[in-house]
Structure 1
């Protein structure tokens, strides 16, 4: 327990500052998710629109890179939040005048939101990987020579409808 009113005020202000920092980091995580998903969608639409060329292959890997960078940024911010949270818990154990973090953790010890966010990043990475491989296959079709020799496999040689150049 703080000895003086000044010490008590300082502890409360420090607690508020830590909670505010956690809140700002969560806002950054949420904005990061929206911006990365939006950027991936825009790049994918651009790559689909440009048809079959080497630029399409290069551009089709950009959403994957963005998703990986977004996941790394989420992990770093989550680690920062965890560090601040541990410090707050230590302060709550020392000063019994505050206790929200212990209360919140005891009422719901399962970190579902963090797991859900990580899952969203993994799904985005998987989806952008599939997209990049699909667009690469549409441009560099390794079965073109086989198609002339074996008409039964002709369906493997056709470029997907989405990759056809409309120009």
Structure 2
């Protein structure tokens, strides 16, 4: 339940439970977890068809979390495959884009927060580097930039980008 609440807190509201277990068991767990859309008794190809439908027909980005050998095709098919690596099968781990080593579903939300933070820092670095280089380029074309300005625009901006990226190491992700 904590994992589902954390995902909803991140703005991920459409969560499906796809399982090969009995339909009644899946429905019971879905109710306990707060998941509205659940399907049981699915074979791997049934899961694959559901994921393909979400990706192609509805144009959605799909992340699939699985741990079994029968999840490997769906992990590879989805936009982001997330495997539980501690007890998960080797096939699932090899097919996945992300591996959660602790087998804690709540870490999926943590991985999303880390990815979003990293993407934001990368964007900051790109915009900052292009901005500074553009300013120095224009200043150089107008005769106002020296050789030291060009060196700063190259090496200095790279150093600032690395220092900016170090913030991620010291951020507390929970």
* TM value normalised by structure 1: 0.32
Q: Which has the higher contact order (CA 8 A, sep 6+)?
A: 1
Greater Cα radius of gyration, structure 1 or 2:
1
Hey, which of these two has a bigger chunk of helix by percent?
1
